[in-house]
Amino acid sequence: MSLTHAPAVRARAVLPGFRLTLGTTVLYLSIIVLIPIIALVLTGAGIGPGRLWDIITAPRTLASLRITILAAALATVINAVYGLLMAWVLVRYRFPGRRLLDALMDIPFALPTAVAGLSLTALYSANGWFGALLEPLGLQVVYTLGGIVLAMTFTSIPFVVRAVQPVLEEFDPALEDAAASLGSRGFTTFRRVIFPAIMPAWLGGVTTSFARSLGEFGAVVFIAGNLPFRTEVASLLAYIRIEEYDYEGAAAIALVLMLLALALLFVSNLIQLRAARYGAVTA
Amino acid sequence: MKLGAIKAAVAALVLAASPAFAQDRLLNVSYDISRELFEALNPVFAEHWKAQSGRDVTIEQSHAGSSRQARSILEGLPADVVTFNQETDVNMLAKGGMVAENWREAFPNGASPWYSAPAFLVREGNPKNIQTWSDLAREDVQVVFPNPRTSGNGRYTYLAAYAFGLRENNGDQAAAQDFVRRIMGNVPVFDTGGRAATQTFVERGIADVLVTFEAETRQIAAQYADRGLVSITPPVSLFAAFPVAVVEENAEKNGTTELATEYLTWLYSPEAQRVVAEGGNRTANEEVTAEFADQFPPVELLNVDEVFGGWDKVESEHFASGGILDQVFVNQ
């Protein structure tokens, strides 16, 4: 008891009282995050369940949700693989330009997504650098599902990398040596020793990446083509409803996206919680 | 919406920080593609105002899709005047009590100092020989214009095609819808605004023809002179008004009512109308229209009121969710 109490006393000396700090933080969080979300839910609730159901199950809404979820899932699979590889390379090897590569990883967070969308469209369109090479092969990226996946991949890759990196850094190489001394090598060591240790963080990053992709707008609208039923994502449809002064329709679609993201974040937290509880056993 | 809020905050800060100059500062909230036009007009007006009142004036410009702009104003963007490309969006402000109900009578020509019409921009030499709306429905033609759902420009294109379809088919609604559906089916990408559609057509090299306002087709052709783009005004198109209005509630608050009214009145002066005509727009002033007559090919302009029975009817029949636009746009 006295052990756990000691840091609390020291903390009081640095920042003003616990109540004030907590109070300020909660107020801040409420204004920035909680109240907007409640407002969204209330607007959604104000529509009435029947109308809400009609909006959500309208063929166009369903099509846009299907496209969004499919593209986000594909982008997430790509990021799950390459994000893990990237983190591995950044942590395990020392090479010239590593710091630069590490810093580059944050660009998708820092860059306005619309700029990302424009750049990707310019590169992959039929007269762009990459597009010109792909076109003879009959591959069209922009204005197709592929373009949406590309944009989502770009904006959400840091989530996986940044989730795995710290865990990988803390991983004790001695465990690998131990595995080697017991006759395990190569991929088996990775599969049975390293991966279980980083898996919770990796899965957490993957689900956040998925959640982020679901709501991506700026990067996607430039590269998607925005054709109803084919390349129209849910966030664009919500935007279109607002342009029509149809706040109800927009709120209903936004509500679905938010619930999906919340569910994913819940899963992500659950995974990390389990990892914290059983972490010692797997490592 | 986010952008509107930011703009509102910035504009509010600017206004709050300089109360002494509030009377000589005007915020003109306009549509996406009028940026260059007002950049040309505003310095001329500043001279006019200086000569008339002896005071300097700063006119701030805000440009984006006009529906989004109207929404921003309803949400607090302190616009003194609006210069839009759609009556519907001014009507939204009137419904919100920001603009007088009878705003159309406040200035000549239904409060529209200039007008234009949807026209075509084609590639060098017009290889697909595109001359009129029916060419856009051909199977070998690809068309680019912004999403009618997010752009006033796109809505005008849709209405112009529809009006043409009605006329060609002696008022047969089903045939007109089928005609518009074929054109919509030829669109490979729907950008959210006029400028993005221009990018798609010019920079990405997508499609055979871009549909946008006549004034814009000329500006793009001039801007990309090395590409040899050709502006084509179809023989029949739709009258596109550019309605202006004083945002009375804000102007009173900002003490700019007099300045705002003078600014909009001045837009009708021969001096301003010449700038407008040089920008490729058709002008309300007959004298100036005559001066520039050889620059504007003759065009028969159909009218929304006559063809569709007014904007309110257009809204409820065509643009409401599940309306005719959705039927031809979505159920292709």
Model pLDDT, residue A2? 43
ipTM: 0.73
Residues B66 and A254: their CA atoms lie apart, in Å, by 23
pLDDT at A262 over 70: yes
Degrees, nearest 5: CA angle B187-B192-B198: 65
Residues of A with CB under 8 A from a CB of B: 60, 121-122, 125-128, 142-143, 221-222, 225-229, 236, 239-246, 249
A contacts of B147 (beta carbons < 8 Å): 226, 240
Nearest to B85 by CA among B151, B26, B133, B27: B151
pLDDT band at B209 (very low <50, low <70, confident <90, very high): very high
Rounded Cα gap, residues A229 and A236, in angstroms: 12
- Please give the average per-residue pLDDT across B8-33, as a whole number: 66
Residue B155 has pLDDT above 60, yes or no: yes
Ramachandran assignment for B207, one of left (phi > 0), alpha (psi -120 to 50 degrees), beta (any other)? left
Out of A3-7, B157-161, B297-301, which region has the weakest mean confidence (pLDDT)? Answer: A3-7
Nearest to B188 among A225, A236, A245 (CB): A225
Option in A125, A229, A243 nearest B68 (CB): A243
| Token reading at A266 | 């819940």
Which residue would you say has higher pLDDT here, A7 or A51? A51
Q: Regarding predicted confidence, which is higher, B82 or A6?
A: B82
B150 close to A (CB below 8 A): yes
| Tokens linked to A63 | 């099509």
Query: Structure tokens of A118?
Result: 């424009």
Q: What is the 3-state secondary structure (H, E, C) of chain B?
A: CHHHHHHHHHHHHHHHHCHHHHHHEEEEEECHHHHHHHHHHHHHHHHHHHHHHCCCCEEEEEECCHHHHHHHHHCCCCCCEEECCCHHHHHHHHHCCCCCCCHHHCCHHHHCCEEECEEEEECCCCCCCCCCHHHHCCCCCCEECCCCCCCHHHHHHHHHHHHHHHHHCCCCHHHHHHHHHHHHHCCCCCCCCHHHHHHHHHCCCCCCEEEEEHHHHHHHHHHCHHHCCEEECCCEEECEECCEEECHHHHHHHCCHHHHHHHHHHCCCHHHHHHHHHCCCEECCHHHHHHCHHHCCCCEEECHHHHHCCHHHHHHHHHCCCCHHHHHHCCC
Closest C-alpha among B276, B242, B268, B308 to residue B87: B242
Angle between helices A195-215 and A59-92 (to 10 degrees): 140
Nearest CA in chain B to A243: B150
pLDDT given for residue B19 in this prediction: 46
CB B177 within 8 A of CB B165: yes
- Structure token pair of residue B325: 């636009």
Cα dihedral across residues B115, B119, B125, B130: positive or negative: negative
pLDDT at B66: 79
Residue type, A78: I
Long-range contacts of A3-9 (CB under 8 A, 24+ apart): none
**B204 contacts A128? CB cut-off 8 A:** yes
Distance CA A157, CA A212 (A): 10
B40: tokens are 């040309």
CA distance A135 to chain B (A): 13
Kindly report, residue by residue over B22-71, the tens digit of the pLDDT.
458 999 999 878 888 999 999 999 999 999 999 999 999 998 877 888 98
Give the separation between CA A260 and CA A266, rounded to whole angstroms.
10
Res A4 pLDDT > 50: no
Whether A125 and B67 lie within 8 Å, measured CB to CB: no
B217 min Cα distance to partner chain A (Å): 22
C-alpha distances out from residue B330 to A61, A228, A238, B141, B324, Å = 11, 6, 16, 20, 10
Is the pLDDT reported for residue B3 higher than 60?
A: no
For the stretch B271-294, pLDDT in tens is 999 999 998 999 988 899 999 998
Q: Report B:130-149 residues touching A (Cβ under 8 A).
A: 147, 149
Position A138 scores a pLDDT of 86
